[in-house]
């Protein structure tokens, strides 16, 4: 089947090809498609050799995504720049769900966000992921749930966070439907990913298109439709408290900064975060409210 004949994974309409891109580590040509009905863009022939994609080098920041830095963040949680992200996420979530309750960080990686939220003591927080880093976090005492434990916790979570995960998922509706099974009615689903509305006209040239690992790209419309099909009501809170810290992390990380330093604090982050968001429009993506 040609890429033009592939049905959209979200709305099942016909798609058009956007172009191709070679993998940086996987020797494969990837085809990029877009649905003109729901605006979802995706890799139509994703690599499924997950052992090769998500190997040890990937988690050390030497793989397809140099932004990943699990080892340093795990060993130095107090000084890593990702601490800005963890604190910002908790502030966003708390502002959107002030009642607190049970929080699941799905795709928690090495459990950094879970550890940070647990230390603050305001939430009953859990993580879920698979692989060696999740096992290490679990063995070190972090509440990282296994598959069986997660299955037993269906319909119990008041908040689910999915941080830089959904762009890795080839079946977003199936994935979001699974999350809906875990959530209580009224629960908040807060996800982060880049807004594909700001991608260049030559879509394969967008720096976020790393086709070995990033296979799904969402505009606000595409994400809203995926949420609706999965049992969530889209909501658009915009630039709420916490986003400044999250964007601060993203800026510093893209500059190659790994550790917090005194000079960071003198920068006008309130203004800079707004400017960055005006360009990248990350806060325009919806959150989900479980129906």
Q: How far apart are CA 268 and CA 271, in angstroms?
A: 6
Cα atoms in the Cβ-side hemisphere of radius 13 Å centred on 22: 3
d(CA 18, CA 31): 8
Question: How far is residue 134's CA from residue 2's CA, in Å, rounded to a whole number?
Answer: 38
The domains found in the chain, sorted by start residue, are 57-198+218-290 (3.40.50.150)
For 92-114, what is each residue's pLDDT tens digit? 999 999 999 999 999 999 999 99
For residue 1, is pLDDT > 60? no
**pLDDT value for 135:** 94
Closest CA to 141 of 105, 111, 108: 111
pTM of the model: 0.96
Contact 170, 30 (CB under 8 A): no
Helix-strand-coil split of the chain, %, nearest 5: 40, 20, 40
- What burial class does residue 257 get, using C-beta atoms within 10 Å of its C-beta: 0-12 exposed, 13-18 middle, 19+ buried? middle
* pLDDT (tens digit per residue) in 58-77: 888 888 888 888 999 999 99
Residue 79, number of CB atoms within 10 A of its CB:
14
Q: What does the pLDDT look like over 130-164, one tens digit per residue?
A: 989 999 999 999 999 999 999 999 999 999 999 99
DSSP of 21-39, one letter per residue? EE-SSS--EEEEEEETTT-
Say which residue the tokens 């909501």 belong to.
235
209: which DSSP letter?
-
């Amino acid at each position: 089947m040609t890429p033009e004949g592939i049905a959209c994974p979200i709305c099942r309409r016909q798609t058009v090809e956007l172009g191709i891109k070679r993998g940086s580590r996987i020797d494969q040509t990837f085809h990029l498609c877009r649905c003109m009905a729901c605006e979802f863009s995706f890799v139509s022939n994703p690599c499924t050799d997950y052992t090769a994609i998500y190997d040890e080098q990937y988690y050390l920041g030497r793989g397809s995504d140099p932004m990943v830095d699990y080892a340093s963040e795990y060993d130095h949680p107090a000084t890593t720049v990702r601490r800005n992200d963890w604190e910002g996420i908790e502030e966003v979530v708390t502002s959107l769900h002030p009642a607190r309750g049970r929080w699941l960080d799905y795709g928690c990686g090495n459990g950094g966000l879970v550890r940070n939220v647990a230390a603050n003591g305001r939430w009953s927080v859990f993580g879920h992921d698979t692989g060696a880093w999740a096992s290490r976090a679990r063995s070190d005492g972090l509440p990282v749930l296994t598959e069986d434990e997660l299955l037993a916790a269906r319909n119990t979570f008041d908040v689910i966070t999915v941080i830089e995960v959904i762009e890795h998922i080839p079946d977003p509706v199936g994935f979001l439907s699974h999350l809906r099974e875990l959530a209580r009615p009224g629960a908040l689903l807060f996800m982060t990913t880049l807004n594909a509305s700001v991608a260049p006209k030559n879509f394969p040239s967008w720096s976020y298109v790393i086709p070995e690992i990033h296979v799904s790209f969402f505009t606000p419309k595409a994400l809203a439709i995926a949420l609706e099909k999965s049992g969530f009501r889209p909501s658009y809170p915009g630039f709420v408290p916490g986003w400044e810290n999250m964007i601060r992390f993203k800026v510093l990380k893209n500059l190659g900064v790994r550790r917090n330093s005194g000079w960071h604090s003198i920068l006008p982050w309130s203004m800079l975060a707004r400017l960055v968001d005006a360009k990248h429009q990350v806060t325009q993506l919806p959150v989900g409210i479980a129906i």
